[in-house]
Each structure stands twice: as structure tokens, then as C-alpha cells.
Structure 1
Amino acid sequence: MVKDAQTGAVLVSQLLDANGDGKPDELLFQTAMPARSTRKFILAGAPAGAPRPASAHTTFARFVPERTDDFAWENERVAFRTYGPVAEQLFDKKDAAGTLTSGMDCWLKRVDYPIINKWYAQHVLTPFSYHKDVGEGYDPYHVGISRGVGGTGVWDRDSLYVSRNFTSYKVLATGPIRTVFELTYAPWDANGRRVTERKVISLDLGSNLTRYEVHLASAGAPLPNCTIGLTLHDQKGSVRADEKAGYFRYWEAVDDSFLGTGVVLAPQRLLKYEDHRTPHKDQTQLYIAAKVPPRAPVVFYAGFGWVKSGQFRDAAAWDAYLQGFAQRLAAPLEVQF
């Protein structure tokens, strides 16, 4: 267990098996840490039968066969989903229930309790009821063949090459602090290169941004980049890019409110970005091209903030959140044990 050394309070913690071998690799806990401050904690064996502190909130992820084969994840602030092989097969058969995309969808929630199971259960009774807000939030976000918020591809010679739907998944952890899962994609073509792709995706309690660890490899020539996308929908919103800080965002009206989406990337990993506009449906996007390091993943964060959630009042508040997030990544905590 983890104790606050000053107060003696036992903190909520989570043992994490990051590689799925059945053995814990990390002990997670959270704390408020002002800049230039020091906090002390005690790691101690828990006495037999000692009560564990309960968490008021949690993170969650699961495969959703009752809605074709989505994969969805959430914490107390945001929720997301993406699409599996059955949805792709139905699309290929021209079935209306099919979906072809490796883009990432936003589920706009405005409650701090889990909604994934509840919304999908209601969908079974009333199909696609999660597209209507009855007080908890809803899904008005259109992905289509776009990258949604944080989908990836390879940009080469003025074209974006992308995978199809994920082919397999593995849940590595769910808990009060972090949820982690893995998605694998069938090999796909990027302008003559055969690309393999695997993503390790995680979401922490308290964060509006999902962490993506993208493993890309090519048997042929080296990949020129890993390109991260934010769809610009009808192009009526505003784009902001701060290359030096490493954050990029889109702010747009959604029904009777506003939504900010964003990507945060270590500036030293950035190759370029492009505000790509086109009349073709779902292909107007903000592209952020990152270096693909040899034998290492591309790591970035992507997510959203919705005004109706009460978390952000305007674009300036969303920008401040992204800027602060980027600053914390650039200046991580120093830990002594």
C-alpha cells in the first residue's frame, strides 16, 4: 500500500501488469503536485485484512460484441471507441450496420460515473439511442473514414495511407487509475510499403487525453512518418498549432455546444503538421507527422474537451489545458526512492 508520509493517509493504488504475463510491473497512485514542490510517500506491506481505500471514480475498457464489435474505453471525464473486424466485413457486404475506419470516436459524457455499459445496454433495447443526450451525454461525433481524434496513418507524396479496422484486441488492465489495452491491425499498404501496426492504448483517471503507443514496421523502405489526424468536419471551426510546445487542436461547434479536440506530441518527435483542406468527405483533417524511431514506438496523446461537460468553458480554456499537459510531459517529476 501507499501512504502519504505527512498525513499517514492510505492512498488509492493499482498494481499494473503492463505486459500481460500475469505478474505486476508497476504500482500506480496519484497525487496533486505543485510545480517546484516535494512530496513524500511510504510504500508498505498491507496488514492482513486491512481495508483498502475505495476510489470514487474509475477507468474502464472492453470489447463490445453487442454493438457489432466496437472497442470502447473511458474514465470519469471522457469516453472513446473504435471499430473491429465484423463491422468491416459488414461494410464490405454493403450492410448498413457496417463501418470501415481505424479512426477514433469521441463519446461526449457529462457525468463522472461509467456510461459505456449503460449506453450499450440501452442500444440493445433502442438501437443507437446513444446519439441522443438525455442528461448523461451522447455521441454526435462523426468519424467516417477520417482519423477522428488521434487515428494514425502514413503520409507520403500528398496521400494518407491508413489501416482498416482492428483485427484483434487484448485488455491488459482496468482499474481505479489506469486502463490499458492493445489493438492489432492487419498488414496494410503505404505507397508500396507493407506496414504492420499494433497500438498499446491507455487512459488515466483525471485525463482528457488517451495515450497512444503506436508500433509501426515496414519490411521494405523505412516509413517516412507516423501521421496523426484530427478531423476538421465541415471546416467551420478554428485550428491552433503550437509546434514549439507540441500541441495541436481544433475547436468547433457541435449542435448547441462546442468541442475541442487535440493532440500532444513531444516537439522533438515532430516532423511537420498540415492543415489539409479538401472537398472530399471526411478527408479534411489536421495532420501531425511524427518521426518513426527505429525499433521503438511513436508515443502521443489525443482527446477532447466538451463545453457541456463543465470542464472547459471556451477555446482558451482548452488551449490552456493542452499547453499545461505538454509542459508536464516536457518536465516530468523527479523521483527518488
Structure 2
Amino acid sequence: MKIIKTFFTLALILPLTLMAQSKATVTIQNNSALNRKETLIAIKWATVLSSYPQIDTANFVVVNPNTKKQIPFQLEHKGKAAIQNLLVQVDIKAKSSIILSIQKGKPEVFAAKIYARYVPERLDDFAWENDKIAFRAYGKALEKTEGDAYGYDVWVKRTNKLVLNDRYKRNDYHIDHGDGLDYYHVGYTLGAGNMAPYVNDTIRYSGNYHHWKVLDNGPLRSTFQLLYDSWNAGSIKVTAVKTISLDAGSQLNRIETVYTFNDTKPMPVVVGIIRREKAGVIGLNEQQGIMSYWEPTFEKDGTTAVGTILSTPAEKMWVNKEQLLTRTSVRNNEPIVYYSGAAWDKAGQITNSKQWQDYLDHFNQEIQNPLIVSVK
């Protein structure tokens, strides 16, 4: 009798165990008063495996049980062989939650919304874009040439398609062929939100990046590293590694910089935005660490907006003849994270300075109020 009872108990438990291994349920909770749109969520892969240990990485889907529709996803590696996170892009209203199911199935083919690459055919550019905006950084081959520049460049877009390769292939990206162009001037400034040491009240620009490494490349997030050889920042010898991530749907990059220098004291640094000769709309919010610039309109090319958000306290913000600047401090070999990016009025989504400031404020509030993710 005891044997029969034990067998009956196991018969009940085993199907439940197998069922638990056939999927994972993800709950995403938004406790803030912010509506979140096109938000990229990182779900730790270890938590997915703990609920769904038999998952086949080539044969699973992420589904919204209410709509029965698949959700685009990406397996994020962060440059490592093992998967680090499952990335999903969702909309979620304020004070609400959504549930997603990770289960066996054939994933749909979703168009990539993000792309980054080294561009050897254009003097070592490194360029990256998403479905909103595009950027580039300048490499070794451009150093000490007539076209050299220190900061980040912006390529404006009015299409959700990826355009970098086409623009480089045409070699005519300073003219708008219907999807946008490059009319942003950087010169010997920090351009659209680059960072540099600020020693003895002077910006100590590095050379251009000399090495690069792609850690992830879409379809929802691209992450790469730019490595800078050592240079003299006043009396301090410095090297830098900048890890840049851009998410689909975002106007802003996440930039994590690690400066290495031989000093136990913090080193002052500045984030900068190039200023134009004609009047624009400038916003300096030291308390929130937000710096914004709605540039003057460039005739037929439209208006570019640029902004930065610090995750460390802003010690000072000011404007000189060339740039908007925010000063903060870093320690040797400790990462500092900030956000920088841009928008274009001709894209039709952010068309005036108030909308740009509202976007930056909302983005900053999202950073301060992360979503809560649970997996079971």
C-alpha cells in the first residue's frame, strides 16, 4: 500500500516538474508615475535558467500571453562567451505591470534596430546607430589631419531603418538624400557629449581612439569599447577605456569610462557640448546633472538637440565661447557612467526645446526609478 501511495505521489509531482521546466514567467513591475515606452529590459540569464533549465537558446520565444504575440529579444553577452542577459523591449504604463512568457517555439525574424562597426574605409571611424539617431567617433588614421576632431559626431536621421552602411558606401553623407545627413560640426571640442580630464582648469584632450572591440551588436542593443593610448593630462599620465551602449528606441548613449592614472586623489573631468555662434536654447541643471542644448537652426538642415546626464554629482556647470561644460570627478581605475545623445527636429518626434528638455528629464527619472523584474 505504501509503494502504491509513493508511486501515485511521484506521478503527480513529475508532470508538475516537467511543466515548470518548459517555460519561465517574467513579471515586470513599474512602480513609478512614469509611462515607459520602448524600454529595454535586461533579465539576468541565470534567473531564466533557474526557472527554465532546459531552455534551448536556438528554439525559444518571448510571448505576451494577453496578445499572444512574440516580443523581440536579444541574448546579451557583454563580450563574454556565456550569455549574461536576455534583453526585451516593452511598453509599460505607470503604476502597472506586465507578464511575459519565455517558452519553447520558433522565434520570428525581427528587423535589427541597432548597429555598430569599425569603418576602416573612412580613416578609422567607429560609427553606430539605432532607429532614431546615429553617431561616430574618430580613429587613429584621422589624427593630425585637416579633418581631425576630438568629440563625438552626430548623424541625424528621419527613418527607422539602418543607414550607416549606405551613407558610407555613397560617400556623400553631408547631403540629405531623404533619410538625414551629417551636418554636425565637432572640431577641436568635445562635440556631442565626449568626456576629458580637466586638470589645472584646462581640458586635456586625448588623442583619437586607437583600438576597438565590439561586445554586442544588436538587434536591440549594441555595446562596444574604444581604447585610448596614454596621454599627458597636464601633470597626470592617463589612459582610458570607454564602453558605449546604445539601445533601440533611445536618443541617448550610456557611456562608462575608466580612467587609469597614478594618483590616489580624484581627477576632475568635464563632459562637453560644442556651442554654435548663433543663439540657441541652453539648459544647465546642476542639481539633476542634466545639460541640454537646442542648437540654432541651420537653414535647410534643421535643428539638432544635444544633451548629457551625469550619474555622479555635477560639481559645476558653465558655458564658454566654445562649449557647454559639466565638471565632476573620477578616481583611478573606477568607472564613471553618464549618458549623452542627440535628436533632430526633422525626425518629427522632438521638434522644440521644451520637448527635448522634457525628454531628458523623463530619461533621468527612468534612471532613478528602475523597473522591478522577477522570474519564476
Corresponding residue number in structure 1 for 2:156: 108
**C-alpha contact (below 8 Å) 1:217/1:223 kept by paired residues:** no
Paired with 2:176 and 2:242, the residues of 1 have a C-alpha distance of 31
Q: Select between 138-147 and 151-160 the one with higher mean Cα deviation.
A: 151-160
Corresponding residue number in structure 1 for 2:202: 159
Describe how 1:226-241 pairs up with structure 2 within 5 A: 226-234=269-277, 236-241=279-284
What displacement does 1:57 show?
Answer: 4.5
- When residues 158 and 225 of structure 1 are mapped into structure 2, their CA distance, relative to the original with a 3 A threshold, is closer
Matching residue's letter, 1:108:
V
Corresponding residue number in structure 2 for 1:245: 288
Corresponding residue number in structure 2 for 1:183: 226
Paired with 1:324 and 1:202, the residues of 2 have a C-alpha distance of 19
Corresponding residue number in structure 1 for 2:303: 258
Corresponding residue number in structure 2 for 1:274: 318
Paired with 1:254 and 1:120, the residues of 2 have a C-alpha distance of 25
Paired with 2:279 and 2:123, the residues of 1 have a C-alpha distance of 32
Count, aligned residues: 313
What displacement does 1:217 show?
Answer: 1.8
- Overall identity of the aligned pairs, in %: 34
What displacement does 1:295 show?
Answer: 4.3
More contact order relative to length (CA 8 Å, sep ≥ 6): 2
**C-alpha contact (below 8 Å) 1:85/1:165 kept by paired residues:** yes
Superposed CA offset, 1:75-103 (max 9, x none): 01000001111111xx2xxx54x52x331
**C-alpha contact (below 8 Å) 1:245/1:327 kept by paired residues:** no
Describe how 1:83-122 pairs up with structure 2 within 5 A: 83-88=138-143, 91=144, 95-96=145-146, 98-99=147-148, 101-122=149-170
1:315 is the counterpart of 2:366: no
Matching residue's letter, 1:13:
F
Paired with 2:278 and 2:263, the residues of 1 have a C-alpha distance of 36
- Secondary structure of 1:336's aligned partner: strand
Matching residue's letter, 1:205:
A
Corresponding residue number in structure 1 for 2:127: 72
2:96 corresponds to which of 17, 37, 42: 37
- Secondary structure of 1:164's aligned partner: coil
Matching residue's letter, 2:184:
Y
Superposed CA offset, 1:164-209 (max 9, x none): 1001001111112101110000111112111110000010000011
Superposed CA offset, 1:145-177 (max 9, x none): 110011111112221112110010011111121
Matching residue's letter, 1:71:
F
1:15 corresponds to which of 75, 78, 87: 75
Unaligned runs of at least 5 residues, structure 2: 1-60
TM-score of the aligned structures, taking structure 2 as reference length? 0.79
Bigger radius of gyration, 1 or 2? Answer: 2
**C-alpha contact (below 8 Å) 1:102/1:166 kept by paired residues:** no
**C-alpha contact (below 8 Å) 1:156/1:191 kept by paired residues:** yes
Matching residue's letter, 2:81:
G
Paired with 2:286 and 2:267, the residues of 1 have a C-alpha distance of 19
1:210 is the counterpart of 2:253: yes
Paired with 1:106 and 1:241, the residues of 2 have a C-alpha distance of 21
Aligned alpha-carbon RMSD (Å) = 1.6
Paired with 2:142 and 2:233, the residues of 1 have a C-alpha distance of 22
Corresponding residue number in structure 1 for 2:34: none
- Secondary structure of 1:233's aligned partner: coil
Paired with 1:218 and 1:329, the residues of 2 have a C-alpha distance of 29
- When residues 161 and 223 of structure 1 are mapped into structure 2, their CA distance, relative to the original with a 3 A threshold, is farther
Matching residue's letter, 2:157:
K
Paired with 1:300 and 1:170, the residues of 2 have a C-alpha distance of 20
Unaligned runs of at least 5 residues, structure 1: 124-128, 278-283
